Amino acid sequence: MPFSLQVTIFLVTFSLLAIYMVGGLETEDGKTLLVIVLIGGLISTLRAAYLRNKQIKKAIARQKELS
């Protein structure tokens, strides 16, 4: 997944979480589930971005070793 797409997903998830915290998405049923889903999405997006950056750094280090 491209890094820009990961950042976009992160920003959308973060925005939805912020709207929820302000009270824009409050409903009587399932608001706890909504928070869990949003936080899970945020964590998985950050993890994916971290792992991708880690792979890129390894690839750059390998290229430097080969040159």
**Can you tell me the distance from the alpha carbon of 51 to that of 30, in angstroms, rounded to the nearest whole number?**
31
pTM of this prediction?
0.51
pLDDT at site 59: 93
Q: Tell me the chain's radius of gyration from C-alpha atoms.
A: 17
Percent of the chain at pLDDT exceeding 90: 13
pLDDT at site 38: 76
* Neighbouring C-beta atoms of residue 45, cutoff 10 Å: 21
Taking all residues of the chain, what is their mean pLDDT, rounded to a whole number? 79
